[in-house]
Amino acid sequence: MESRPLTRHDSMNNPLVRPPNYQAVEQPSHSAASVNGLRQKSNLDDDDIHHNPPPGSSSGSGGAMDPPQGHQMTVTYDGDSEGYVSFAGGSGSNNTFHLDSDEQEFPGIGQYDDFHTIDWQRDVARDRMRHRHIIKKRDDSAWDWIKSGHDAWSGWLCVFLVGVIAGAFAGMIDIGTSWMSDLRFGICPEAFWFNQEQCCWSSNETFYDGDNCSNWYSWPEVFGHEPNGAGAYIISYIFYILWSLLFASLAASLVMMFAPYACGSGIPEIKTILSGFIIRGYLGKWTLLIKSLGMILAVSAGLSLGKEGPLVHVACCIGNIFSYAFPKYGKNEAKKREILSAAAAVGVSVAFGAPIGGVLFSLEEASYYFPLKTLWRSFFAALVAAFVLRSINPFGNEHSVLFYVEYNKPWIFIELVPFIILGVIGGIIGMLFIKFNIKWCRFRKTSLMGQYPRLEVLIVTLITAFIAYPNPYTRMNTSNLIYLLFSQCGVANNDNLCTPGSSLRSNRVSLVDVFPAGPKPASLPSSDYQRNFTNVNTAIEIAAAGPGVLQAVWLLALALIFKCVVTVFTFGIKVPCGLFIPSLAMGSIIGRLVGIGMEQLAYNYPEWAVFAGECSTGENCITPGLYAMVGAAAVLGGVTRMTVSLVVIMFELTGGVRYIVPLMAAVMASKWIGDAFGREGIYDAHIILNGYPFLDSKEEFSHTTLANDVMKPGKNESFYVITQDSMTLDDVEQLLRETDHNGFPVVVSRQSQYLVGFVARRDLNIAISQAKKTTEGIVGESIVLFTSSVPSPWMGPPPLRLRKILDLAPITITDHTPMETVVDMFRKLGLRQTLVTHNGRLLGIITKKDVLRHIKFLESEDPESVLFN
Amino acid sequence: MESRPLTRHDSMNNPLVRPPNYQAVEQPSHSAASVNGLRQKSNLDDDDIHHNPPPGSSSGSGGAMDPPQGHQMTVTYDGDSEGYVSFAGGSGSNNTFHLDSDEQEFPGIGQYDDFHTIDWQRDVARDRMRHRHIIKKRDDSAWDWIKSGHDAWSGWLCVFLVGVIAGAFAGMIDIGTSWMSDLRFGICPEAFWFNQEQCCWSSNETFYDGDNCSNWYSWPEVFGHEPNGAGAYIISYIFYILWSLLFASLAASLVMMFAPYACGSGIPEIKTILSGFIIRGYLGKWTLLIKSLGMILAVSAGLSLGKEGPLVHVACCIGNIFSYAFPKYGKNEAKKREILSAAAAVGVSVAFGAPIGGVLFSLEEASYYFPLKTLWRSFFAALVAAFVLRSINPFGNEHSVLFYVEYNKPWIFIELVPFIILGVIGGIIGMLFIKFNIKWCRFRKTSLMGQYPRLEVLIVTLITAFIAYPNPYTRMNTSNLIYLLFSQCGVANNDNLCTPGSSLRSNRVSLVDVFPAGPKPASLPSSDYQRNFTNVNTAIEIAAAGPGVLQAVWLLALALIFKCVVTVFTFGIKVPCGLFIPSLAMGSIIGRLVGIGMEQLAYNYPEWAVFAGECSTGENCITPGLYAMVGAAAVLGGVTRMTVSLVVIMFELTGGVRYIVPLMAAVMASKWIGDAFGREGIYDAHIILNGYPFLDSKEEFSHTTLANDVMKPGKNESFYVITQDSMTLDDVEQLLRETDHNGFPVVVSRQSQYLVGFVARRDLNIAISQAKKTTEGIVGESIVLFTSSVPSPWMGPPPLRLRKILDLAPITITDHTPMETVVDMFRKLGLRQTLVTHNGRLLGIITKKDVLRHIKFLESEDPESVLFN
């Protein structure tokens, strides 16, 4: 059979010119069925349960007051949609539409509805087109040259601003928290806005030394009571509980009234957003404001939660808000995520004063795509933020965190054994914590309790405050507790934990009195050692523990149990609450206990071979504070499953490189133990609990299914496609009304199913309504044309030409492609959907939701738990 | 026209069942042309200039003695090729071949020839198949359970071993270098294997204090001369030059005779290998051995080069060698690159004692794909290596590098100005260095000089030694120079740079005498300050510079010029040579000079507002050592264009977090300035110079071309395809003989050009030769069948069935796909080629080489400079 010598361009630009026997080509059954199957309901459900029916509307279903909202309808940047249009139709050489014109632009094209997945490839292509446009115009005028310069550095400027503002926010939050926390214990009558430390500074007492400050009035004193005694204790207790309840209810009310998205840690949602999902208002200005305020209140209420996780959310809000100052980022969801990745790094940087750790946190835990450019910018922003925070100096110690410590003893090799044991314990605690917390959260979701969130907050606060007050370790601020436990005993350290106590019990200074922990209780244990420092040059001798240490050990053990239990119920209540600090606190208690045990072991058995080298000299060879730090890292690692970033954060908290090995050993042990029982960290577990469409890039897809098995339509389902030149406007509008798919493949004809391109539902809606307004003669019988040219003798009403909004380069795969490759492509290319072909004919479509459901199905979980797309 | 209701599976598994009018479908012209165009030469040249004609042979064209060599022909692991085969053909449900059998396996399938690009998707799929196989068999027996456990932890074990061995290698290299370097100045007669420091230690002089050691004999002393005086100076000079020449010629001879791949830095090649390219023998055991030895010799020869870059190569060699102990990595090129990425981190970790910096170096500079798992393993390996190296303690200072320093002064805000100026200078120097070095290397390649590499080494050594000796700053080991310049003046520091000099010039101790720099020259300048330390508690006062400082400044300036010039000619000679140390040295000289200037400014004008706060107390507020460090980072940043990793490496060299901001400011300024003049760092420039097929993931593709414009065949070229059921073995063998493509698309028929799959040339060759041996009745007229079943009444000789080696899921794109998306897919998915279709019909192919050439073409460079594929 002689084949007609057709050039490549012939067939490409003129799909209307077909050989006469074109339609007779073999085709799959369902495409034949779909000829008349337009009105059948298919379950090609790349839909969205939160779908907002009026196309072009952008009101989010949650979080009412977000900046993106108003923005979406006011696209003013003229290179924006043009960019995408040129990309889509840029190759049709004989296009009758001119693509460089400002006419025929459809504002809003390329945007997304709320709770939808973004298409990275498309967004990145749009940005490149925009960039090319600017570069091309650069030499036209001085103004264009400046614009191009501004465009080039706007990414750096944006992350710089984010760093500065996030640093300032963190400083204010730190100061506010410290003031409000002290308010529960007393007040500075001279200047009520001072916290206890500042109050005592101003009273000319150079060294801040616990309760010995006449300017600060505890509540019993305010009411004319003696500062000591049973009555004062009760008054203090009551004030402590009342203030806590006040703060907590304020926090919960603010969150519920103004910004429901401000509750919780925010990291699961930020992970989901960074993986390419739209949650409007989640990073808005109201969320920012309420989260910052609520965080101060919740921490001051003495709840078992921290402000470090929520700081990541706050930084991301700042990143989101600033990105709107730069259209390059504000109007392009894929580009905006570059700023958000940097903002996540900034959040951890200011939370722990650890810029490198922050960058690694963003890389390891938060971000989905982390190109090198983002790495550089994240690092820059994290540094700027840390610098700003240190300049604000909220703790008066030249560091950005309260619990910055320096050790001066190296560790010895045998200590690796307790470190690894700490890691194992941390892994087990983390695993149990995740399990119970998820169970409780699921119970909250399904039971009546979820309907009274404010009551829940009040009950948790009441119980926490009631139990916490009697135990000095739980009464104090959790950050202070962590710092106390991290500290080493040494000459320069004037913690009471390490100062020499005389043998007289009454003379002992309480361990907790160095911190603003309210009026001195009548009888407090002390964890002092029988140790004497004679002068500066004496080495610290190892010492036997006195009875005070034993009592402290007991109290710490009780505090540990309390923290473990109460945190399970706290994480998830409707106030801003982070997990870092409670986890670190649990871990540091365990670590300190193990450390004290090791110390006493080394003291009592210095002749053991393992201690022989270092401990025989009588010097203290064990640093219990280091154990506390290792334990803290282990538990936090068990809860979050972070590794490298966690080690680096802890390493940045200490002065030296030499403690990396102990930290690494514990964190790795913790991760391995935790992973053995359940792969997900707490954030991933909450993502699954909430049904977010998050395609984890850490999990390997290990099944043997093919694209064929996953794609929609399945057997006996009809497949909705649009033909390039034979459907009328009425047909298309009916299709849009009767299906809720997010997009439709465009084919040459319904019989042949040769794929031409892909058109998004949203773009189609906008284009149609726009065309009805602007183009004359468009009626229901108008043919919708996706071809590049109109056949020359055109009969009937004027056609509606939509090649502009057609994506001519959809990603396609063959039906034999293994799903592991498909999952890989979804992850690496950031796809929203891919089309499945066999020998060139369109067979079906796979959306991100299909992939997620398929993974759930293979893991014998409920595929319907994936909620959004 | 009514369409026949054909089910999807019908058409899929039985492509032979076609409607009668199948062949009449429109087709592009070139496919018609290629019906008879089988013998025409096309320029679809995804070929390889180093292609080894006999298929299955694996001898590399360079580096003769590599471990991969023998391995390739002895595939013993039974899940290996099976894995790939199942992947390719696993979906044909009515396959007559059983895929789980050990019969009909083709050993060597899935391997690559030398100088070829790997296919990541295919390799990763193979590994997952292998993994699934192990998981499935796990519960069969205890032995299988152990095997699966071993498989699970083999990655960790492998990087652990790499860390340990690389740490040990680095320690030995450090010790060897230190001994050999001292050999140029003298010898320890009691124990010739001691270097000067050890020699003096053994002589009961507790503190090593320069020349005051009776055990160490300088060469004049060995020959009975006085240690001082003109005669001694000349003898020392001659010995210095002779030893240098001896070492250099030894290094060059070793490299040329045993391992030509051992020369240079190795980082450009490692970047290329990590991006998915095969260079057999580049990471072999001979390269490892010769590179380690040659490095010691070259550094000891006093050449202006370092051992830090080559240590990365050494670590990668170790990684490669160990990966062969674990078939999971040794037999899978994509998986092996995970180990190599970790090894690159190990290399930097041991080079600078900076484990975190090493990981970031691997992430930022070396690696192409860096999944989280690799991050964790890299970090683990880097830590292990640093730990091992510190245990070996080659420098006797508890650190893994000579130039570890700690500063105790914070920097002041105004200092950011000189820091940024240093960054700008660093960027300019880096840019100039790259330019001149590349010019010289190009001249070397094209001129006669390249044919006498050993002579070149000798000449460079002679000139270096001759000029270096008179100047004490160039005479000393470059690492020592860097340490000297980094050091701060302080109480604990007993460098002569900072000790109080009396006003008597003759009493001054020379700056350089603290280092083993040979016999004391008659008159040496000293850079002391007029400063007095009375006791430990006095703050360091700021001091005026004496005349000695002025002279030192002059000598340093001369040293700087010398280093700059000689390094341009040194980097590229045929010995192992790294760039880190010379760059750091240049930078630290500049930095120290600027620092001394700033110090004197602060001393002379303490009343200036900018110095007012910190410098008015009379304390020294400027640390010139910090300037040296900042300058070093700036120049190294300008040369290599590293940012985050460089800052972290420098930060790990100092004790504290607070110097990150100055370092960052300088490095960022340096990168921006450098990038303004030329985007490539030195490594990328050398990659381009050598024509390696490296698709840079940092560069954005900013053009508007489409896949259509890039794909082969172009117009008027014929396209070689294989049909699935109509070509005879003779046809196929002729095709293989007459073309040199690396693979062929398989289509339904030559008229329709519907894509079925893709078959690699190498696999085809192996399968055919295997089939000829094992299957009876295969003759030249046998039809080569790629279909899943044989039509039931089969006439003629038995067919050769090759569906097993057919990749049924090749990545395809449409002809309208913008090239930026194509480049993105190549980068992110690690493709070797992609097929271009239009409406399902195969139009052409794009290989990685096509992409690289296209980029070159668009940048107006010579596309033919891309050599390999």
Residues of B whose CB is below 8 A from A359: 644
Q: Which residues have C-beta within 8 Å of that of residue A1, sequence separation ≥ 6?
A: B23, B24, B751
What 3-state DSSP class applies to A407? coil
Maximum CA extent, chain A: 111
Hey, which residues 57-96 in chain B have their CB within 8 Å of chain A? 87, 90-91
Of A119, A107, A115, A18, the C-alpha closest to A807 is A119
- Who among B8, B697, B839 is closest to A754 (CB)? B839
Q: Residue range A92-117: average pLDDT?
A: 52
Maximum CA extent, chain B: 111
A638 exposed, middle or buried (CB, 10 Å; 0-12, 13-18, 19+)? buried
Distance CA B814, CA A806 (A): 14
B21 CB within 8 Å of a chain A CB: yes
- Nearest-by-CA chain A residue for B698: A372
Interface contact B808-A816, CB threshold 8 A: yes
- Nearest-by-CA chain B residue for A128: B702
Residues of B whose CB is below 8 A from A15: 839
Q: Compute the mean pLDDT over every residue in chain B, rounded to the nearest whole number.
A: 77
Q: Determine contact, residues B222/B186, Cβ cutoff 8 Å.
A: yes
And the tokens for B121?
């998707």
Q: Determine contact, residues A657/A408, Cβ cutoff 8 Å.
A: no
A436-456 pLDDT, tens digit per residue, is 999 999 999 888 888 888 999
pLDDT above 90: residue B321: yes
Interface contact A755-B840, CB threshold 8 A: yes
The confidence score (pLDDT) of residue B615 equals 64
pLDDT class of B468 with cuts at 50, 70, 90: very high
The alpha carbon torsion through A306, A308, A310, A316 (nearest 10 deg) reads 180
pLDDT above 80: residue A28: no
B416 CB within 8 Å of a chain A CB: no
To the nearest whole Å, the CA of A645 is away from the closest chain B CA by 10
Least confident of A54-58, A396-400, B119-123, B308-312: A54-58
Least confident of A93-97, B270-274, B287-291, B566-570: A93-97
Beta bridge partners of A784: A727, A800
The confidence score (pLDDT) of residue A433 equals 95
Residues of A whose CB is below 8 A from B373: 698
What Cα–Cα distance (Å) separates residue A679 from each residue in A652, A672, A696, A700, B238? 27, 10, 11, 11, 67
Residues of B whose CB is below 8 A from A33: 5
The pLDDT > 90 percentage for chain A reads 27
Q: Residue range B532-560: average pLDDT?
A: 64
Interface contact A841-B841, CB threshold 8 A: no
pLDDT class of B397 with cuts at 50, 70, 90: low
- Who among B373, B809, B839 is closest to A821 (CB)? B809
pLDDT above 90: residue B65: no
Q: Residue range B858-862: average pLDDT?
A: 78
Interface contact A11-B27, CB threshold 8 A: yes
- Who among A25, A372, A751 is closest to B698 (CB)? A372
pLDDT above 50: residue B283: yes
B770 CB within 8 Å of a chain A CB: no
Residues of B whose CB is below 8 A from A4: 26-27, 32
Residues of B whose CB is below 8 A from A136: none
A679 CB within 8 Å of a chain B CB: no
- Who among A5, A12, A24 is closest to B32 (CB)? A5
The confidence score (pLDDT) of residue A56 equals 31
- Nearest-by-CA chain B residue for A18: B26
Least confident of A143-157, A237-251, A648-662, A664-678: A648-662
B512-535 pLDDT, tens digit per residue, is 333 333 333 333 333 444 444 443
Least confident of A78-87, A679-688, B164-173: A78-87
Interface contact A644-B375, CB threshold 8 A: yes
Q: Determine contact, residues A493/A511, Cβ cutoff 8 Å.
A: no
Interface contact A698-B372, CB threshold 8 A: yes
B121 CB within 8 Å of a chain A CB: yes
Least confident of A525-539, A658-672, B569-583: A525-539
- Who among B8, B15, B838 is closest to A29 (CB)? B8
Hey, which residues 134-173 in chain A have their CB within 8 Å of chain B? 135
B423-451 pLDDT, tens digit per residue, is 999 999 999 999 999 999 999 988 888 88
pLDDT above 70: residue B47: no
Distance CA B426, CA A80 (A): 39
Hey, which residues 597-616 in chain A have their CB within 8 Å of chain B? none
Interface contact A32-B5, CB threshold 8 A: yes
The confidence score (pLDDT) of residue A545 equals 59
To the nearest whole Å, the CA of B718 is away from the closest chain A CA by 13
Q: Does B50 or B827 have the greater pLDDT score?
A: B827
pLDDT class of B131 with cuts at 50, 70, 90: confident
What Cα–Cα distance (Å) separates residue B763 from each residue in A47, B107, B642, B654, B726? 43, 10, 40, 54, 19
The confidence score (pLDDT) of residue A11 equals 35
pLDDT class of A717 with cuts at 50, 70, 90: confident
pLDDT class of A490 with cuts at 50, 70, 90: low
How many CB contacts within 8 angstroms connect chain A with chain B? 258
Q: Residue range A726-748: average pLDDT?
A: 87
Query: Is ipTM > 0.95 here?
Result: no
pLDDT above 90: residue B207: no
Distance CA B127, CA B84 (A): 9
> Which backbone phi and psi does A755 adopt, to 5 degrees?
-75, 130
B37 CB within 8 Å of a chain A CB: no
Of A825, A557, A766, A775, the C-alpha closest to A54 is A766
B36 CB within 8 Å of a chain A CB: no
pLDDT above 70: residue A502: no
Q: Determine contact, residues A412/A614, Cβ cutoff 8 Å.
A: yes
B535 CB within 8 Å of a chain A CB: no
Residues of B whose CB is below 8 A from A816: 91, 757, 808-809
Interface contact A87-B818, CB threshold 8 A: yes
Residues of B whose CB is below 8 A from A90: 704, 706, 818
Interface contact A700-B128, CB threshold 8 A: yes
User: CA angle, corner B711, sides to B707 and B712, nearest 5?
Assistant: 170
The confidence score (pLDDT) of residue B547 equals 65
- Who among B661, B706, B817 is closest to A383 (CB)? B661
Least confident of A317-321, A412-416, B17-21: B17-21
Distance CA A746, CA A763 (A): 14
- Who among B90, B664, B812 is closest to A812 (CB)? B812
- Who among A373, A820, A838 is closest to B125 (CB)? A820
Residues of A whose CB is below 8 A from B821: 121, 125, 809
Interface contact A11-B25, CB threshold 8 A: no
B504 CB within 8 Å of a chain A CB: no
B363 CB within 8 Å of a chain A CB: yes
The confidence score (pLDDT) of residue B169 equals 94
Alpha-carbon dihedral sign for residues A70, A72, A75, A79: positive
CB atoms within 10 A of CB B368: 20
Residues of A whose CB is below 8 A from B829: 824-825, 828-829
User: What does chain A come to in residues?
Assistant: 869
Interface contact A125-B655, CB threshold 8 A: no
Considering the entire predicted model, what is its pTM? Answer: 0.81
Q: Residue range A235-254: average pLDDT?
A: 93
Hey, which residues 196-235 in chain A have their CB within 8 Å of chain B? none
pLDDT above 90: residue B717: no
B8 CB within 8 Å of a chain A CB: yes
- Residue B713: asked if its preceding bond is cis (omega within 30°), the reply is yes
Interface contact A668-B380, CB threshold 8 A: yes
The confidence score (pLDDT) of residue B543 equals 58
B536 CB within 8 Å of a chain A CB: no
